[in-house]
């Protein structure tokens, strides 16, 4: 008799031939008859599709779908559409699911929680070091705790102590979501959002959430790279951030309309994303434009983008951690020559 699927691992795949087998193997070796792996090939141009076909032929619980390149959000949505498990676990195509994660998932499975948070660690080698990784405390959240999780998702003030680490809370991975909860509330990623799409997804999900849990166990290993999307130079970062900010505004208007705390945090998210624009744009060492052109790009942030024009009259630059507060203050006083030096120093340290 076939068991019901308890856990669906959803993997968007794009040009991942070097690490994809390791990711798949980390899940497959834990198969207990209650899992499925749903992979969406997002228009890969390398050998990723061939690898997926080989694995699907060998393991019947692996489902493979393909589409023209539409981005990671679209691929995740398609994987979610084809999932059948009680819980879904979003997994990136070069990361690792921890040993014994599925056993721990079974232990903490319940009928109330809609989101269950775990821990994750970064790694840079071929494999992470998984030493003494045992399940620890389990903490349940409801009522005012859910309200705190909602604010924690946007709150990067240095004096804030989040219920769930800022490393874990915004990501789609290192947690499991009850699939029925996602489907009943029409929760999907916004395909048009290319920056902080994971935070927006979780901000919307938490607006519907009534029960959640945090489990002290490293369930996920994230492969860190200096060339990853969150660290590389992005010529389109200004446009992407504007789309993200409009989407934040829409979500708060629809789901948190009467929450003054969320509107205040939105203003600080605008400031936070201004830092992103500067760090990944004009001051980034990968930006090959001459100094004058990069200075012009910096100045355009305040003349061409209404979200940033008056942000310093609505926020204080010193509320973040020290590094971000210094950056925000330098940006406030338009000290691009210092920012440029910092970008050059960052380049030499890599």
Which structure tokens are listed for 276? 């992103």
pTM over 0.75? The answer is yes
Helix axes 237-255, 197-208, angle to 10 degrees: 10
DSSP 164: S
Show the DSSP H helices in 109-259 as ranges: 144-154, 179-184, 197-208, 237-255
3-state secondary structure at position 147: helix
Q: What is the pLDDT along the chain (350 residues), one digit of tens a residue?
A: 457 999 999 999 999 999 999 999 999 999 999 999 999 999 999 999 999 999 999 999 999 999 999 999 999 999 999 999 999 999 999 999 999 999 999 999 999 999 999 999 999 988 898 988 999 999 999 999 999 999 999 999 999 999 999 999 999 999 999 999 999 999 999 999 999 999 999 999 999 999 999 999 999 999 987 556 557 888 899 999 999 999 999 999 999 999 999 999 999 999 999 999 999 999 999 999 999 999 999 999 999 998 999 999 999 999 999 999 999 999 999 999 999 999 888 655 54
What's the angle, vertex CA 337, arms to CA 320 and CA 155, rounded to 5?
Answer: 15
Q: What structural domains does the chain harbor?
A: 7-223 (3.90.550.10), 237-349 (no CATH)
3-state secondary structure at position 34: coil
Which structure tokens are listed for 49? 């599709």
Question: What does residue 311 show for φ and ψ, rounded to 5 degrees?
Answer: -65, -30
Residue 62: CA atoms inside 13 Å, Cβ hemisphere, count? 23
Strand-pairing partners, residue 42, are 67
């Amino acid at each position: 008799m076939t068991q019901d699927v308890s856990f669906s691992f959803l993997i968007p795949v794009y040009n991942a031939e070097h690490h994809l087998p390791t990711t798949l193997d980390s899940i497959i070796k834990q198969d207990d008859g209650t899992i499925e792996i749903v992979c969406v090939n997002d228009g890969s141009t390398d050998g990723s599709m061939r690898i997926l076909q080989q694995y699907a032929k060998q393991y019947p619980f692996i489902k493979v779908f393909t589409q023209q390149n539409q981005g990671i959000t679209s691929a995740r949505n398609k994987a979610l559409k084809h999932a059948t498990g009680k819980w879904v676990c979003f997994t990136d195509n070069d990361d690792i699911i921890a040993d014994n994660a599925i056993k721990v998932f079974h232990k903490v499975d319940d009928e109330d929680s809609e989101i269950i948070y775990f821990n994750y660690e970064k790694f840079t080698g071929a494999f992470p070091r998984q030493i003494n990784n045992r399940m620890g405390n389990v903490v349940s959240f409801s009522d005012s705790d859910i309200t705190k999780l909602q604010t924690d998702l946007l709150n990067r003030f240095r004096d804030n102590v989040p219920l769930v680490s800022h490393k874990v809370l915004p990501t789609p991975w290192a947690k499991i979501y009850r699939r029925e909860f996602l489907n009943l509330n029409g929760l999907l990623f916004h395909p048009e959002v290319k920056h902080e799409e994971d935070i927006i997804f979780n901000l919307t999900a938490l607006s519907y959430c009534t029960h959640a849990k945090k489990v002290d166990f490293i369930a996920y290993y994230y492969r860190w790279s200096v060339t990853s999307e969150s660290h590389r130079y992005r010529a389109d970062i200004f446009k992407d951030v504007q789309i993200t900010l409009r989407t934040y505004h829409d979500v708060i208007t629809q789901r948190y309309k009467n929450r003054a705390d969320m509107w205040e945090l939105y203003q600080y998210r605008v400031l936070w994303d201004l830092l992103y624009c500067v760090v990944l744009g004009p001051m980034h060492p990968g930006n090959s434009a001459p100094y004058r052109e990069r200075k012009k790009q910096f100045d355009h942030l305040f003349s061409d983008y209404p979200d940033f024009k008056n942000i310093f009259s609505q926020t204080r630059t010193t509320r973040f951690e020290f590094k971000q507060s210094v950056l925000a203050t330098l940006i406030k006083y338009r000290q691009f020559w210092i920012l440029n030096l910092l970008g050059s120093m960052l380049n030499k340290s890599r």
